[in-house]
Amino acid sequence: AGRAPALHCPADGVSQVTVRDALNQGLDEELERDERVFLLGEEVAQYDGAYKISRGLWKKYGDKRVIDTPISEMGFTGIAVGAAMAGLRPVCEFMTFNFSMQAIDQVINSAAKTCYMSAGSIAVPIVFRGPNGASAGVAAQHSQCFAAWYGHCPGLKVVSPWSSEDAKGLLKASIRDDNPVVMLENELLYGVPFEMSEQAQSKDFVVPIGKAKIERQGSHVTLVSHSRPVGHCLEAAAVLAKEGVECEVINLRTIRPMDIETVEASVVKTNHLVTVEGGWPQFGVGAEICARIMEGSAFNYLDAPAVRVTGADVPMPYAKILEDNCIPQVKDIIFAVKKTLNI
């Protein structure tokens, strides 16, 4: 279900690259470009990363640039935040963002607020990255989406890639940014191949933070999503197109700052809005999008209430059949589109 849409024969200079390899490429290029950049986290060095994102980097850059840490998120996140304040540019990997709860004081109270509280005199250029949201069969303590949690907090930037191009471009942009950035990846996308252009594979390629991407043009309904559910939206759009319904699919890419202008422009065109996310419904990313649309001029163009498709409002069950029913599926998106279009 996390697959990329069906791909045709690659054009000249276009390659199939997995999200894992795109992230590895981005890290490699930034470590090489700027000696202030370093990576730390559990098993990122000698083991090549729990998900092999940092494969080969320890051998290439050594102990001072790729650092294995103890299983102590509060400790190594604090070290990373202090290093950023001192002028380095750390990339702090959480084996899963569920474990970032151990370090949330460092992320929110130290990293996010220091620039503001120092009147701009202390920058904290740090990237917190790792897998976010539901994986498969790992139950409630390993399956939360933290987009709404971190997107709630001023002082942070929050990015959420879907494709290989998103992953590489947003990672490089995040490392170069002078603000703390939370990068929410998805474990189930790591092995998924996407087409990457020659330009996207160049060392100069970045995806600007705060800019959404229209993945598919459409005229009947706007689908807004981020991370893995973008793929579900594209699959749903392909099914609906056979029934004469053209969906415009927007890949948010960034949760904070949110590119609401792109969403508004699409809603003005389609007059219908469906948001799709893997997180819980209450105070979620979809809730924020709906509120922003209602508060702005695009609200006058809506011909039906906006509809949210979200994860179920329960801790994630372990059983596969229950897990499947807790995560938005393609059929749920199709149902929501038909509901809002009254068909």
- Alpha-carbon distance of 230 to 243, in angstroms, equals 20
Q: Is 35 a catalytic residue?
A: no
Catalytic position from the list 29, 30, 42, 73: 73
Tokens read off for 275? 């948001």
Per annotation, catalytic residue among 29, 93, 142, 232:
142
Residues 6+ positions from 259 with CB-CB distance below 8 Å: 210, 211, 212, 252, 253
Are residues 79 and 86 in contact, defined by beta-carbon separation less than 8 angstroms?
A: no
Instruction: Report CA torsion sign: 54, 174, 316, 154.
Output: positive
22 closest CA partner among 275, 180, 264, 207? 207
Q: Is 8 a catalytic residue?
A: no
283: left (phi over 0), alpha (psi -120 to 50) or beta: left
d(CA 292, CA 92): 32
Catalytic (active-site) positions: 73, 142
